[in-house]
Structure 1
């Protein structure tokens, strides 16, 4: 499948991933609307939903320097003005292109033979007058040395403004969190306040145990308790006694007597990430002799992107311990502490530090890639040619993070006898909004800077030509040898990599752990992989000029790679191309492909993470299964679930009222040096039809249908925290005996004090199987209106691309059940698998005028693990062009003409939806000008 520069301009976007992600062959992953999680503003593409690391990105058939430790490529760095078209090859292509091409290849063809001078400018804005985009470029090129060579230079600058979630109605209330600026506590399950005291403080009708006729659940001593600004205490259960300071962040989810209290963080997050990008690209070639043409190109990109999150939360394992002697303890809180069996012990503090400001991460990228080589004819050897080139790419990413909190500094203020007043003006009152002084903000806040460097070096030599004449045509052969080296180094700020020793306090509480709360602490990473590869291909003409066989060709390919990490690996393919007649062609083949583990998958150290598990639901499988509000605790196996929760360490005193209010749990990610390669098998079969009719109505009609089937074994990945909980508690038959020693259950632990999930280990391993299959359909139809009896008003063309997903399934570990994901969506980026997805374009052109319409359709889906139906979404776009003169043209677009909102569901990926799949910005406009001389 091929898309062109004109298709990209019809989107009105400034980054080409906007077009790529509209195509049915791609599953949108983290992109320009992906704030949390974010990949630093990068645009990585995900073919077939098999992962960005399994989609090989090429520029003019050659690799592009990766942008992260997984080996994925950021297509933001490509020279957009010179992209002539994008060729998408589906199915395993490792035999032709090497490791990483398990899902296929996206080859961006750059126009190295551009002639003339062209200036292009474009401006866009949404219907709500925000999120403005601008792009400017100048491109020049032409022949040099009397036509013996050619040179081209392109310079471009593009910007994109940020939009907050609060600027859209569907997303302004999102991102529920149990950690608020008011502060809260969950008392240790071994030192709970007396339940009778809790009943007396909050009173009827929420006393425990709950009467059989009670309308509201009781307030248990195991729940979360927050601190009002007045000094009183409120219960998260039914938002009882909550005194709101006002504002959408406090009041977004606050419905007293209806739902449990959570803080609204979503309003403070980006819905669209900002971007400021500079691109430069230069290419030159020069023919020395017919046997030798030298060539080279240089790509340079510098851009800045950012993400912004709500202010730093510190909770559970990143929270604090408050001594019972803290001078800011209010009389009401003192009465709660005195109701404990050990009133002088410390207690847990969860807190969000809004006074320090939101967490902002600014990413500054500098990327260059240079290629130089020589190619030409092997004189005297039939039509043989050769190509030898060397390529060096480098990516540097400087990340500056603000809004971080020093946990040791906060703990010092809490432990101080005077509440920290002698350390910074006013000290730190954690109970209610803290109103920290500038001195205290400076004392606890931290700005960090991380640096990432990545290099890729490639040297390759190849030759190709015809070996002999066969009855059906020339037997052609190509072969080559190449060396590739990738190196990666991540240098975190010293504060982010520092771990404070864990200290057991006199009262039994502990302090220590990661020094920084805010952005996740990180450890240094440095690694290198290299490989020497040998490859060969044969094009064998089998039969020609027979009835029903105009031409039948067989292509065979083989590649052997010797990696310094996994040793020798092989990939091979066999493809048939059967030209039946002038209008009918069949094609298909088989390929075995490989992917060696990346540097990050191999060598990443243990790093702190906070994976999402969603909120507990009576109908779904999200949240902590031990939460009394979950479907697990209220389903047919509730007794077995309860017993497993007790076996994992939840206190008997807490088990009947246990709740977990956060949507995230603390965990770890990390690499595995013992990984081995992934392997895949892919089958493809297709049919291409060109109209056999000469009538004007049908002569411009063509269609294709292609079936694909891809199975990947020994998939490298990790079992996410949500999947760990679902597997442990037998959501799909993974643990039918509810054994606490089941493999899924051993991947996480529970805090012995609170019972909350901690230490979810999302470590890389060779897991089991990933499988997908489906059909791609494409229809093209064009005609001249006058030729079919209509007025002479120009040409009409229709393009329809449809993707039908037959199957997408995965098996997390060997022996585990196969999980079917076809037609589902969930709360993780890249996990959206509609059965049907299509992109339709209609274009009319007459002389210098053109009008076009696009129809983007995303089929209906079911929210994974629930019965919730997500309806289909249809987005309509318009575009127009006008050639003012032979040299100057205007264009304009209206995207999302009907101002359609995205599909909203909970828990969504972020902003109550999947912002990479659905259109979150609403109606928007762009206008552009191109002048070419």
Structure 2
């Protein structure tokens, strides 16, 4: 990989041509195995360069911020068809939603998350300019980028608003596209796992060259890539996953104020101890089984019914088997660019990106339960005799009862995604006539993303309720009617009667206009003061139109028997309301590099990099950001760097205007030692711990049933709502970094190629925009970390949810956006690069060795939900998904590469390490995980290169825990595919 001080050179295009960032947070200095080829102009015509980290072009590369750089060869060594697989291996990233993220899923998108501060706080650039966001929160889908032309990726983590504006609190990933490609290149690659599934293919053709002599250059690249789906059932660790209390057999939880006689229940099951408040399922023969201890369960057979059917444990249905472990993908990409020099003062340029791709995710068949369930009248003709006998022991025998049901007859819930994204840029740049060494750049950019989501497997709740209420069980409405007691075996007519396919449409647009100039101001004794300034307008527009049935809310009606029906029309995919919003900003920025000292003892060079930006947002008003960084070259062998940054992020369209939508957040499973599940469950650590009496009293205050000594809750999810807040203010972040870079001063062949860097970073964000998750609400309300020491029902956490007075279950968990308190992270990044020539060190002349070691140590990762509340440190923990984000924070993470090259041949070994972690809610310990990958390359001719990879050579299985983030694990952090192979062929002429 590249020495610490190396960086990718970009063409000197003025300030607007490359949106450059100066950060106050460290990352590693370089991480590319091989220096990607520089463009012809950058190697032969440039006197000055622009590097990611500054707006100012200069003659040398002395970045005040460490840069992680990965090259095209590094990407090819992964054997993947999407570049996020390499990016998220770096210690600076917390893996986020990607190709193995089925639930939560962002529709097959690939998002990146620097420092685990959220994908919405990581700004993605392409050749220094913004990329059109992929959702209303401002997150970018890097699937849309032109993979064949990605020359390198430069990453600086930390606040960067002073240089780039909003969204850059965590940092910037700048994808360098080779828009001056010369020649013809054809590339093909095929990959497959050693289990024979998950096939991937990619093909590309790229053509480019000079036009009109050397006055201009044009490039055109077209590519296609595919990825086949893999089911959870295809892997042992995930085949049994996603436990749910909602089963195709159907079940009921009797109303707490109208329970069957406990003696009758004891007699029916032949034992005492099965609470009347628990769940009861319906066997296919008409008998009942108790969820508590899986008593009297008669399985129809199959992994979905038998997965969790363990006597003594609560019954749960296995929803995970037919969920996707790897999401399918079919992607077409087209990229073209043109540069033409009319004169030194006028150089026109433009580019067009077009991406069209399809993906999908699939969940278990639609469930309807609790607040989305149904009421069954006692007159329903399908009620089996055993159930009827228990119903007759209730105080109000004629009252309806609750029905929970999963509708397997309609198949899984599949969301098919179709994206069309294009982004065009046109600009003029050149030298300022009459001003030596000054350049200008003016450009406009427009991007548009269109997304169509087709969702199948939905159920009409009103149609199902009509079948249940019908005196004939619905036979007059559709052939055979609806028997919900046991497996239903609905007729095609009834499937058509209750089934719904929905189509949602989303359009997102972004417009950027920018004018900038830069050059030298004057000379000081220590050197030239260089300056840059500019103006920018940015406008974002988002329009989401859900299917009418998804947006439909039926009136809540109180039935004659006391039950209620109504609410969301659809059971299946979550109901959604339309979202339309627009935001814009006008911003001005300045930056200066000021040389302070030069050629003194212990000071070869000392300079300051100063920057200031003022942004006027239509939503939050004026917001300043600034930076001050130091670059101190002590000697050729030692350089010190560091600085501070004050950054801001304005709230996004989604965070501001998202309407109230139903969701079902995870709270984890109940545990006698962990923090997951409902604290009121009598088996939880809350109800059995030293404060059990206080917990029970608080549960009773919320709902009498919840405080009962027999209350149990067997689901891992609760019904709730999520939505935006138009009164949000901007987030504010302060960052600090301090580091050093050492380059070997020795001439020995063993040590001359040695370099290293060490950098400390600290980021603190205040007024964090986010929602308190349902699991955090419960933990806070019941004083898991000292949030409610008096166990007061009026505590703020307790007010974020309520309980159903009939069942005692949590309902209406309100995950609404607020400006929360603080989010902090700090740590150390280290890197070592060592290159040797075997012959020069006295060994056989067998080529070169290149070792690169990148290590990240996470010192703190604290979140405070409310001012004055506890700061919960999450270092070394992994948790269930919250707000669509994975939450894995290993204390140590590293990526090591050893590469050998000799003539036309090359071999490489990669070692990926993720430290051990503790499951935050359950307390389970996950061991540290080591992955080893091999790659090889053979230049058959000057024009033809063959490459091959073997990833996860040892077939290391992912760490699992209960309930896991998804598929019993975190599929973004851990390798879930197992050993896999790829082979690729490139021809360049």
Q: Residue deviations 1:598-637, cap 9 Å, x none?
A: 0000000000000000110001000000001111011000
Q: How does 1:562-711 map to 2 (within 5 A)?
A: 562-651=616-705, 655-711=708-764
Structure 2 partner of 1:220 = 275
Query: What is the Cα deviation at residue 859 of structure 1?
Result: 0.6
Cross-structure match for 2:212: 145
Residue 184 (str. 1) matches residue 254 (str. 2): no
The correspondence of residues 687-766 of structure 1 with structure 2, limited to 5 A, is 687-766=740-819
1:848 matched to 2:901? The reply is: no
- Please, which of 421, 432, 454 is the counterpart of residue 400 of structure 1? 454
Say whether the 8 Å CA contact 2:922–2:962 is kept in structure 1. no
Please say if 1:486 is aligned against 2:553.
no
- The SS at the match of 2:533 is strand
Give the corresponding residue for 1:213.
none
* Aligned with 1:265 (options 319, 328, 332): 319
Please say if residues 650 and 750 of structure 1, whose CA atoms lie closer than 8 Å, have aligned partners that are also in contact.
no
Do residues 451 (structure 1) and 451 (structure 2) align?
no
Deviations 1:3-52 (A, max 9, x none): 10110000000000000010000000111111011111111100000000
Alignment length, in residue pairs?
Answer: 919
Determine the C-alpha separation between the residues in 2 that align with 1:650 and 1:879: 62
SS at match of 1:136: strand
CA distance in 1, matches of 2:704, 2:841: 77
2:958 corresponds to: 902
1:242 to 291, 294, 297: 297
Structure 2: how far apart are the matches of 1:279 and 1:779? 36
Which blocks of at least 5 consecutive residues in structure 1 are unaligned? Answer: 208-217
Q: 1:866 offset after TM fit, Å?
A: 4.8
What pairs up with 1:190-589 in 2 under 5 angstroms?
190-204=257-271, 207=272, 218-256=273-311, 258-589=312-643
Give CA-to-partner distance per residue, 1:169-222, whole Å, 9 cap, x none: 011111000000000000000100000111111113xx1xxxxxxxxxx11111
**CA distance, structure 2, for counterparts of residue 128 and residue 371 of structure 1:** 44
Aligned to 1:170: 237
Q: CA deviation at 1:694?
A: 1.1
- Contact 2:933–2:953 (CA<8 Å) still a contact in 1? yes
> For residues 458-484 of structure 1, what are the alpha-carbon distances to aligned partners after superposition, in whole Å with 9 as ceiling and x for unaligned?
000000000111111111110000100
Alpha-carbon displacement from aligned partner over 1:754-788 (angstroms, at most 9, x marks no partner): 11000000000000000001111111111111111
Is 1:48 matched with 2:103?
no
2:191–2:200 Cα contact (<8 Å) kept: yes
Q: Which residue of structure 1 aligns with residue 934 of structure 2?
A: 878
Q: Distance in 2 between matches of 1:7 and 1:430?
A: 55
> What secondary structure, in the 3-state scheme, does the structure 2 residue paired with 1:458 have?
strand
CA contact (8 A) 1:310 1:358 kept: yes
What's the CA shift string for 1:208-245, capped at 9, x where partnerless? xxxxxxxxxx1111111110100111111111111100
TM-score for the superposition, normalised by structure 2: 0.92
Where 1:480 maps in the other structure, the secondary structure is strand
Aligned counterpart for 2:830 among listed residues 766, 777, 781: 777
SS at match of 2:174: strand
Determine helix, strand or coil for the equivalent of 1:107.
Answer: strand
The answer to whether the aligner puts 1:16 opposite 2:86 as a matched pair is: no
Partner residue in 1 for 2:223: 156
Q: CA-atom RMSD, angstroms?
A: 0.7
Q: By how many angstroms is 1:830 displaced?
A: 2.5
* 3-state SS of 1:685 partner: strand
Q: Distance in 1 between matches of 2:959 and 2:318?
A: 20
Task: Supply the distance in 1 between the matched residues of 2:287 and 2:671 (Cα, whole angstroms).
Answer: 30
Secondary structure in structure 2 of the residue aligned to 1:647: helix
- How big is each residue's C-alpha offset from its partner over 1:142-195, in whole Å with a ceiling of 9 and x where there is no partner? 111111000111111000001011100011111000000000000000100000
CA distance in 2, matches of 1:90, 1:55: 8
TM-fit CA distance, 1:865: 4.3
- 2:102 corresponds to 1:35: yes
Taking the aligned partners of 2:278 and 2:733, their CA distance within structure 1 comes to 49
Distance 2:977 2:867 in 1: 42
SS of 2:92 mapped into structure 1: coil
CA separation in 2, counterparts of 1:260 and 1:536?
63
Structure 1 residue 3 corresponds to structure 2 residue 70: yes
SS in 2 for 1:243: coil
Distance apart, 1:651 and its partner CA:
2.6
Deviation per CA, 1:118-148: give whole Å up to 9, x if none: 0000000001000000000111111111110
Question: 2:671·2:922 contact (CA, 8 Å) conserved in 1?
Answer: no
Task: Give the match's secondary structure for 2:946.
Answer: strand
Alignment check: 8 A CA contact 1:46 1:830 kept = no
Residue of structure 2 equivalent to 1:835: 891
- TM normalised by structure 1 equals 0.98
Aligned match of 1:862 in 897, 918, 922?
A: 918
Does the 8 Å contact 2:340/2:349 carry over to 1?
yes
SS at match of 1:806: strand
Q: 1:214 is matched with which residue?
A: none
Gaps spanning 5+ residues in structure 2: where? 1-67
**Partner of 1:850: helix, strand, or coil?**
strand
Match of 2:170 in 1: 103
